[in-house]
């Protein structure tokens, strides 16, 4: 039997190039060789206040984004986290295995509690236990995510081992973090020292998969660059390294080849052509996304089928967990 992979994205705002390069791009490759589950993690999204109608729209848009980028519903189960109740149920059990000190060390929690200082709720704090439930419910072997999630995966590994050792039964599979080959951390266009993020303050930080061609061109034109005008990657050129990575992903050309193409040419040409390359790459994705957004029945069918397949595995694992823990009667 092929190994199982699972990953997920929070339906907050719009999918951006960082989500695509760090996560979705790997999924569409891995779905051919692994049993794949891709989740839209709406329960995670409510750790930050969301407007109900916007959340619902973002859930559907995120699902449409997965499909438009090339996740194949015949190969992978695409589902919404809240439609498989076992995620919340297992999260509770895992909460009781998670130490406060471990959660306090999580950088995503530290960042989010700075951003949302007026609402540092318990859900935001125990977010990783829910994420552990997402992964462990399916005895997932590999978790393809960007680098910012590596710390969470480490914690999930520890939880799985701790639980198995406590009951002396290998209930959970210990999952592995799978980074993308390229672009594990795409940086903000406005600041190459910070990651591209859905929750960035500046509108110039991220390119959303739903941005219009003109907005994309403008964002790339305004992107921060490094000193001196040579187009090359390197530790001393964080902004250009980031832009070259994006260029390489959307064209399939290597960074070395792109550097050669731009020898003796400045940032102006480079940015104009990068803008056109991103627009050319994104246009068919946007067209497909619109098709799925306009066909509610088709999207519902994909999500229903995905949830059903996920549920079949999830109920089984939760039962095993309840049995070893001694829950029920």
User: Which residues have a catalytic role annotated?
Assistant: 112, 195, 198
Q: Round to whole Å and give the CA distance between 49 and 110.
A: 17
- Residue number with CB closer to ligand TYM (127 or 262): 127
- Provide the CB-side half-sphere exposure for 141 (13 A, CA): 9
Cα-Cα-Cα-Cα dihedral sign, residues 314, 153, 249, 62: positive
Among 125, 130, 123, 127, which residue's Cα sits nearest to residue 89?
Answer: 130
Task: Work out whether 93 is an interface residue with ligand TYM (CB under 6 A).
Answer: no
Task: Work out whether 76 is an interface residue with ligand TYM (CB under 6 A).
Answer: no
Q: Round to whole Å and give the CA distance between 223 and 267.
A: 10
| Binding track, positions 190-229, relative to ligand TYM; x by CB under 6 A | -----xx---------------------------------
Shortest Cβ distance from residue 300 to ligand TYM (Å)? Answer: 22
Task: Work out whether 159 is an interface residue with ligand TYM (CB under 6 A).
Answer: no
- Residue number with CB closer to ligand TYM (111 or 261): 111
Of 30-38, 177-185, 275-283, 290-298, the segment contacting ligand TYM by CB under 6 A is 177-185
List, in order, residues 6 or more apart from 248 with CB less than 8 Å away: 182, 254, 255, 258
Q: Which residue has the tokens 């959307």?
A: 250
Range list of H helices, the chain: 17-19, 25-30, 42-45, 52-69, 86-95, 100-104, 107-115, 122-125, 127-136, 150-167, 213-222, 238-251, 255-261, 267-294, 296-325
Phi, psi (deg, nearest 5) at residue 6: -145, 140
Looking at residue 16, the DSSP 8-state letter turns out to be: B
| Binding track, positions 118-137, relative to ligand TYM; x by CB under 6 A | -------------x--xx--
Structure tokens at 68: 């438009």
Shortest Cβ distance from residue 160 to ligand TYM (Å)? Answer: 13
Task: Work out whether 6 is an interface residue with ligand TYM (CB under 6 A).
Answer: yes
Looking at residue 138, the DSSP 8-state letter turns out to be: T
| The total number of residues written for the chain in this structure | 329
Q: Round to whole Å and give the CA distance between 152 and 140.
A: 14
Q: Name the residue whose CB lies closest to ligand TYM.
A: 22
Of 3-11, 93-101, 219-227, 316-324, the segment contacting ligand TYM by CB under 6 A is 3-11
| One residue of 4, 5, 8, 217 binding ligand TYM per CB under 6 A | 8
Shortest Cβ distance from residue 127 to ligand TYM (Å)? Answer: 7
| Binding track, positions 26-65, relative to ligand TYM; x by CB under 6 A | ---------------x--x---------------------
Shortest Cβ distance from residue 63 to ligand TYM (Å)? Answer: 14
| One residue of 13, 146, 192, 275 binding ligand TYM per CB under 6 A | 146
Which residues bind to ligand TYM, rule: CB under 6 A?
6-10, 18-19, 21-23, 41, 44, 131, 134-135, 143, 145-146, 148-149, 152, 183-186, 195-196
């Amino acid at each position: 039997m092929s190994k199982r992979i699972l990953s997920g994205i929070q339906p907050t705002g719009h999918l951006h190039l960082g989500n695509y390069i760090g996560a979705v791009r790997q999924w569409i490759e891995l779905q051919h060789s692994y049993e794949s589950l891709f989740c839209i993690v709406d329960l995670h999204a409510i750790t930050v206040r969301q407007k109900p109608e916007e959340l619902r729209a973002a859930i559907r848009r995120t699902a449409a984004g997965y499909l438009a980028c090339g996740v194949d519903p015949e190969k992978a189960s695409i589902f919404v986290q809240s439609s498989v109740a076992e995620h919340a149920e297992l999260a509770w059990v895992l909460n009781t295995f998670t130490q406060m000190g471990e959660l306090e060390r999580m950088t995503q929690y530290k960042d989010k509690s700075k951003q949302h200082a007026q609402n540092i709720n318990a859900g935001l704090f125990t977010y990783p236990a829910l994420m552990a439930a997402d992964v462990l419910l399916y005895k997932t072997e590999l978790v393809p995510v960007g680098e910012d999630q590596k710390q969470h995966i480490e914690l999930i590994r520890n939880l799985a081992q701790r639980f198995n050792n406590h009951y002396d039964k290998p209930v959970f599979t210990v999952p592995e973090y799978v980074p993308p080959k390229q672009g594990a951390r795409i940086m903000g266009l406005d600041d190459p020292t910070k990651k591209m993020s859905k929750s960035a303050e500046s509108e110039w930080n991220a390119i959303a998969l739903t941005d219009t061609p003109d907005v994309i061109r403008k964002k790339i034109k305004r992107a921060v660059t490094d000193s001196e005008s040579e187009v090359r990657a390197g530790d001393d050129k964080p902004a250009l390294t980031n832009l070259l990575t994006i260029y390489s992903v959307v064209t399939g050309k290597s960074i070395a080849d792109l550097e050669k193409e731009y020898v003796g040419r400045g940032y102006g040409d480079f940015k104009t052509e990068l803008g056109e390359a991103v627009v050319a790459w994104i246009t068919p994705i946007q067209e497909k996304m619109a098709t799925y957004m306009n066909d509610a029945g088709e999207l519902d069918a994909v999500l229903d089928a995905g949830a059903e397949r996920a549920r079949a595995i999830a109920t089984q694992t939760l039962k095993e967990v309840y049995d070893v823990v001694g829950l029920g009667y």
